[in-house]
């Protein structure tokens, strides 16, 4: 052992600078892994905090009736703070505007809701005055503007008069409610509700109990407990996790993306170290042979270099972890205002330890593979340097490769958090390795088979370098090809995800919704909005209707059958609490035999008609029919996919609608996926043109205002010209969503850039270390009279062939990899910019050739003897 350590230390003397260079790829790989683990924990917390602001509480219980006494007592045992709200729609009168009335969404609130996020009013002290009680109200700012009402004015609700204490600009937990009610909000103290006399008369009262939980309580577990407790009481639940789910796949995918980055970063590092060690070992063969002659066993000589490899791994892990942490700590200071959010960074030590451990294990395993060659070095090499190495299969090699596959799969599963994804990553990496290995063999074989005998000497020499003994074809094609493959896959995935974010939260989205536009006002609204610099971006007619029959079976009949079933519950409450979770389990059985939620059959649908799909929609199946001839007996309609699923409908099934007393038969012609989170007018059922034009309807329009002042001006002008039109400003609601997406986009951009940097260093390292394999013959050629230009040209031919081949095949693999990752991991359509792979091919080829030429410059510029003395 003493000899092994001593020899490892002494032997590294002349190569320490080179070994440090080798370790760069490992350092960066582990730094990325540590940074991802730690930064990921930080950002997850930041995003969670912001998502809490969307809900305003840790958990909200919803229902059609207040909680029972026992229920309130139970809730009090789990929550640190409770707030309550009763809401319904009612008419509000404005005495200052000649007692004009408007349908509003009344919220009678009690307690300190919201617990998280911003309750924004003008003036800012309005929430405190509301909580203090009395006959005060906070009214939607757009509504006040519409009636030219001001803070201090009086408004009437039922039999009570309220003093307006503030204009409501933003209230957490509202985005989906806005879309549901399409009515401006008016907040009053709960204590003032009874006096209005409205709550008793209103059948559509909704109760919400908002909970703040102690930090150690996990909302999902509390929800499960409460769900059990309130079983059969018809209550629903809303959580932060649910709100995050409603924001779409983007938030789920940030975790998946970070997993992919960790995987890519570490394997880039592993490829870098494996290729460097491969070259290093080749240079050490004579030393090993001499040691063997002097009596060193295979184990002793192998151990000498294993110690160096492990030391390199430890060095990489320690320096990498330090760099990863430094990066995370220094980043906010370096970037300052450029950071799109304020994150309190903390060091996530478990993430650091995991990153270092995984990095060390993967690096040592990848180092072992080339090191195995040391065990097979014959002492005869000391007598004859040309002595061929033994090529018999090595059981240890097979064992190490098995270990590597298991370690890669284990790391991938750990990194992605999913067995299927982890095994998929491993399989794709293995396939890439196999394809590039086969390409290397094919390249060497082709170069020999179709050798360009009539080409100039430098071309022949360059091509011959591809298959001659001691060639770099396998090494460079594998390292450059895998590097390109991993880097470009990451970059393409980044583009795919950023497009998804841009689609969800891009700057051009509408942020001002106009409701109740009548047919004869439509042109006027359009012109007025355009004149104010906010043209209508989206406009849709809305026709209200109910379902009359599904697949020939009347709704009443389906509901009657269901009532006879004992397990039918309050489906409406379930809708409130279980949006997006699947609604089966309580309700009626559809014609197909599946249960259909009763509320889906009873509710009023706001449907639209148009000739084409909108940008928020994607055709899932069937054919979207844009127009039919008037008088069509069975109208082809397009249904939203979840509705279709819940009603148990398939393409071609019939559904009969009751359009305000007029029966209309339809068949499902197409199924659409809808991006509901875009806060734009979207519909469950879309009819073709030529059917509903003459039905009673109103229109909804969406505009984009540049800022708050612009929005106020547009609203004022529109409301003055069209008093019945209601405007809802979504800008502040959207800011919260945008804040989350900007974080996600930043993380994706940053981690992608950092990992690509690792990849470039790996590529440069692989090419630069390759020069040691060519030193002797380059010096010989120089001695025999080759000019510097000729040496460069020989290298150029070899590097250009290898660089272009690796880049092209790596890019093709990356396009396939991106498609697989997008489909199976992110569950979105892959973005495939044509230019990006092309740029990658040019860049990787250029980096290869330039690095190759620059690294061989020293060999060509110095006297041969000096070079030989330094390099060997």
Partner 1 sequence: MTAQSMLKVQRLTKTYATAAGPLTVLKEVDFDLGRGASLAIVGPSGSGKTTLLGLCAGLDQPSGGTVELAGESIGELSEDARALVRNAHVGFVFQNFQLIPTLTALENVLVPVELRGDASTKLRAGGGMSVAEEEARGLLTRVGLGERCDHYPVQLSGGEQQRVALARAFMNRPKILFCDEPTGNLDGDTAHAMVELIFGLNHEKQTTLVLVTHDPDLAKRCQRILRLKGGAVIGDERI
Residues forming the site for partner 1 (CB under 8 A): 2-3, 6-7, 10-15, 286-287, 289-300, 378-380, 382-384, 869, 872
Contact 804/841 with Cβ under 8 angstroms? yes
Contact 444/465 with Cβ under 8 angstroms? no
Q: Judged by CB, which is closer to partner 1: 4, or 540?
A: 4
User: The tokens of 739 are what?
Assistant: 């804040």
SS3 annotation, 447-501:
HHHCCCCCCCHHHHHHHHCCCCCCCCHHHHHHHHHHHHHHHHHHHHHHHHHHHHH
User: The tokens of 434 are what?
Assistant: 């196999």
Contact 462/793 with Cβ under 8 angstroms? yes
- Closest listed residue to residue 703, CA positions, set 543, 542, 530, 541: 530
Q: Judged by CB, which is closer to partner 1: 15, or 642?
A: 15
Report how far residue 863's alpha carbon sits from residue 860's, in angstroms, rounded to the nearest whole number: 8
Beta bridge partners of 517: 699
Q: Judged by CB, which is closer to partner 1: 489, or 769?
A: 769
Q: Does residue 100 sit in helix, strand or coil?
A: strand
Q: Judged by CB, which is closer to partner 1: 15, or 650?
A: 15
Task: Please state the closest distance from residue 400 (CB atom) to partner 1, in A.
Answer: 19
Backbone angles phi, psi at 88, to 5 degrees: -165, 170
Q: Judged by CB, which is closer to partner 1: 287, or 715?
A: 287
Task: Please state the closest distance from residue 298 (CB atom) to partner 1, in A.
Answer: 6
Q: Judged by CB, which is closer to partner 1: 383, or 398?
A: 383
Backbone angles phi, psi at 154, to 5 degrees: -110, 145
CA 656 to chain centre: 40
Report how far residue 232's alpha carbon sits from residue 434's, in angstroms, rounded to the nearest whole number: 58
Report how far residue 598's alpha carbon sits from residue 588's, in angstroms, rounded to the nearest whole number: 6
Report how far residue 504's alpha carbon sits from residue 507's, in angstroms, rounded to the nearest whole number: 10
Task: Please state the closest distance from residue 366 (CB atom) to partner 1, in A.
Answer: 24
Q: Judged by CB, which is closer to partner 1: 1, or 834?
A: 1
Task: Please state the closest distance from residue 394 (CB atom) to partner 1, in A.
Answer: 13
User: The tokens of 776 are what?
Assistant: 């002797």
Task: Please state the closest distance from residue 299 (CB atom) to partner 1, in A.
Answer: 7
Residues 6+ apart with CB under 8 A from 159: 195, 196, 197
Task: Please state the closest distance from residue 756 (CB atom) to partner 1, in A.
Answer: 36
With residues binned 3-state (H G I as helix, E B as strand, rest as coil), the percentages for the chain, rounded to 5, are 60, 15, 25
- Closest listed residue to residue 313, CA positions, set 279, 362, 278: 362
Task: Please state the closest distance from residue 300 (CB atom) to partner 1, in A.
Answer: 7
Q: Judged by CB, which is closer to partner 1: 7, or 149?
A: 7
Q: Judged by CB, which is closer to partner 1: 387, or 414?
A: 387
Q: Judged by CB, which is closer to partner 1: 265, or 291?
A: 291
Q: What angle do CA 799, 802, 806 make, to 5 degrees?
A: 135
Task: Please state the closest distance from residue 305 (CB atom) to partner 1, in A.
Answer: 12
Task: Please state the closest distance from residue 306 (CB atom) to partner 1, in A.
Answer: 16
Report how far residue 107's alpha carbon sits from residue 89's, in angstroms, rounded to the nearest whole number: 9
Task: Please state the closest distance from residue 382 (CB atom) to partner 1, in A.
Answer: 5
Task: Please state the closest distance from residue 13 (CB atom) to partner 1, in A.
Answer: 5
Contact 224/230 with Cβ under 8 angstroms? no
Q: Strand 654-659 relative to strand 662-674: parallel, antiparallel, unpaired?
A: antiparallel
Task: Please state the closest distance from residue 445 (CB atom) to partner 1, in A.
Answer: 16
Report how far residue 550's alpha carbon sits from residue 591's, in angstroms, rounded to the nearest whole number: 7
Q: Judged by CB, which is closer to partner 1: 121, or 303?
A: 303
Q: Judged by CB, which is closer to partner 1: 25, or 303?
A: 303
Other Cβ atoms closer than 10 A to 359: 30
Place of tokens 């984009």: 704
Task: Please state the closest distance from residue 287 (CB atom) to partner 1, in A.
Answer: 5
First to last CA, the chain: 27
Q: How many CA atoms are closer than 13 Å to the CA of 209, on its beta-carbon side? A: 24
Q: Judged by CB, which is closer to partner 1: 108, or 296?
A: 296
Q: What Å distances lie between residue 293 and 186, 290, 376, 567, 686, CA to CA? A: 92, 5, 13, 85, 85
Report how far residue 215's alpha carbon sits from residue 646's, in angstroms, rounded to the nearest whole number: 36
Q: Judged by CB, which is closer to partner 1: 6, or 627?
A: 6
Task: Please state the closest distance from residue 15 (CB atom) to partner 1, in A.
Answer: 7
């Amino acid at each position: 052992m003493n000899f092994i350590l001593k020899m490892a230390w002494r032997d590294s003397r002349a190569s320490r600078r080179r070994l440090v260079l080798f370790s760069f790829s490992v350092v960066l790989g582990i730094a990325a892994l540590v940074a991802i683990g730690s930064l990921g924990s930080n950002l997850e917390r930041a995003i969670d905090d912001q998502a809490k602001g969307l809900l305003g509480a840790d958990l909200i219980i919803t229902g059609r009736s207040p909680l029972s006494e026992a229920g309130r007592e139970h809730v009090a045992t789990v929550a640190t703070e409770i707030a309550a709200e009763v809401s319904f729609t009612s008419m509000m009168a404005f005495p200052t505007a000649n007692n004009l009335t408007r349908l509003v969404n009344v919220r009678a609130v009690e307690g300190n809701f919201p617990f998280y996020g911003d309750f924004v009013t003008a003036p800012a002290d309005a929430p405190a005055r509301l909580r203090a009680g009395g006959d005060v109200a906070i009214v939607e700012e757009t509504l006040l503007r519409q009636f030219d009402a001001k803070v201090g004015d009086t408004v009437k609700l039922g039999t009570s008069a309220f003093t307006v204490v503030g204009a409501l600009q933003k209230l957490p937990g509202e985005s989906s409610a806005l879309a549901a009610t399409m009515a401006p909000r008016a907040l009053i103290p709960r204590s003032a509700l009874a006096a209005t006399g409205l709550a008793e008369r209103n059948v559509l009262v909704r109760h919400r109990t908002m909970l703040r939980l102690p930090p150690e309580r996990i909302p999902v577990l509390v929800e499960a407990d409460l769900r059990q407790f309130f079983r059969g009481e018809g209550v629903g639940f809303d959580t932060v996790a649910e709100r995050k789910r409603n924001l779409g796949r983007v938030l789920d995918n940030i975790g998946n993306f970070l997993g992919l980055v960790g995987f890519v970063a570490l394997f880039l590092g592993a490829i870098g170290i494996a290729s460097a060690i491969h070259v290093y070992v080749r240079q050490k063969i004579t030393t090993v042979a001499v040691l063997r002659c002097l009596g060193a066993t295979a184990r002793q000589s192998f151990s000498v270099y294993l110690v160096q490899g492990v030391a390199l791994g430890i060095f990489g892990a320690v320096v990498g972890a330090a760099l990863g942490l430094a990066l995370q700590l220094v980043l906010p200071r370096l970037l300052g205002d450029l950071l799109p959010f304020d994150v309190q960074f903390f060091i996530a030590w478990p993430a650091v330890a995991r990153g270092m451990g995984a990095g060390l294990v993967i690096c040592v395993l990848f180092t072992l593979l080339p090191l195995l060659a040391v065990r097979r070095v014959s002492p005869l090499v000391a007598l004859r340097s040309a002595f061929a190495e033994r090529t018999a299969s090595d059981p240890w090699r097979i064992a190490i490769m098995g270990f590597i596959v298991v370690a890669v799969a284990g790391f991938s599963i750990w990194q992605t958090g999913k067995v299927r994804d982890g095994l998929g990553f491993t399989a794709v990496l293995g396939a890439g390795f196999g394809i590039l290995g086969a390409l290397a063999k094919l390249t060497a074989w082709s170069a020999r088979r179709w050798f360009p005998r009539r080409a100039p000497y430098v071309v022949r020499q360059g091509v011959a370098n591809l298959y001659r003994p001691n060639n770099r074809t396998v090494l460079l094609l594998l390292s450059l090809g895998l590097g390109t493959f991993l880097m470009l896959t990451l970059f393409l995935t980044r583009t795919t995800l950023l497009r998804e974010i841009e689609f969800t939260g891009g700057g051009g989205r509408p942020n001002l919704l106009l409701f109740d536009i009548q047919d004869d006002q439509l042109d006027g609204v359009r012109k007025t909005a355009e004149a104010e610099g906010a043209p209508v971006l989206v406009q849709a007619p809305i026709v209200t209707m109910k379902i009359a029959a599904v697949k020939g079976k009347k709704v009443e009949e389906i509901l009657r059958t269901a009532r006879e079933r004992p397990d039918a519950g309050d489906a409406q409450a379930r809708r409130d609490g279980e949006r997006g979770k699947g609604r089966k389990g309580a309700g009626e059985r559809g014609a197909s035999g599946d249960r259909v939620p009763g509320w889906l059959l009873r509710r009023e649908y706001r449907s639209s008609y148009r000739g084409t799909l909108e940008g928020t929609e994607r055709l899932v199946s069937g054919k979207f029919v844009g127009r039919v001839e008037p008088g069509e007996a069975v109208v082809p309609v397009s249904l939203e996919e979840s509705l279709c699923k819940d009603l148990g409908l398939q393409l071609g099934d019939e559904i009969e609608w009751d359009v305000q007393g007029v029966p209309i038969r339809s068949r499902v012609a197409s199924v659409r996926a809808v991006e509901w989170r875009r806060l734009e007018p979207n519909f469950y059922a879309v009819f073709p043109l030529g059917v509903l034009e003459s039905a009673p309807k109103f229109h909804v329009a969406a505009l984009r205002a540049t800022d708050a002042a612009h929005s106020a001006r547009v609203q004022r002008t529109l409301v003055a010209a069209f008093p019945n039109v209601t405007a809802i400003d979504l800008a502040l609601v959207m800011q919260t969503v945008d804040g989350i997406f900007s974080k996600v986009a930043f993380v994706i951009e940053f981690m992608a850039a950092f990992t690509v940097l690792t990849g470039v260093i790996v590529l440069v390292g692989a090419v630069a270390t390759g020069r040691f394999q060519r030193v002797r013959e380059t010096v010989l050629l120089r001695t025999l009279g080759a000019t510097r230009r000729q040496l460069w040209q020989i290298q150029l031919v070899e590097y250009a062939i290898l660089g272009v081949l690796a880049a092209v095949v790596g890019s093709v693999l990356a396009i396939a990899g991106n498609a697989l990752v997008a489909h199976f991991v992110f569950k979105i359509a892959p973005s495939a910019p044509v230019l990006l792979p092309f740029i990658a091919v040019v860049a990787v080829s250029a980096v290869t050739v330039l690095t190759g030429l620059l690294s061989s410059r020293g060999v060509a510029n110095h006297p041969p003897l000096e070079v030989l003395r330094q390099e060997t």
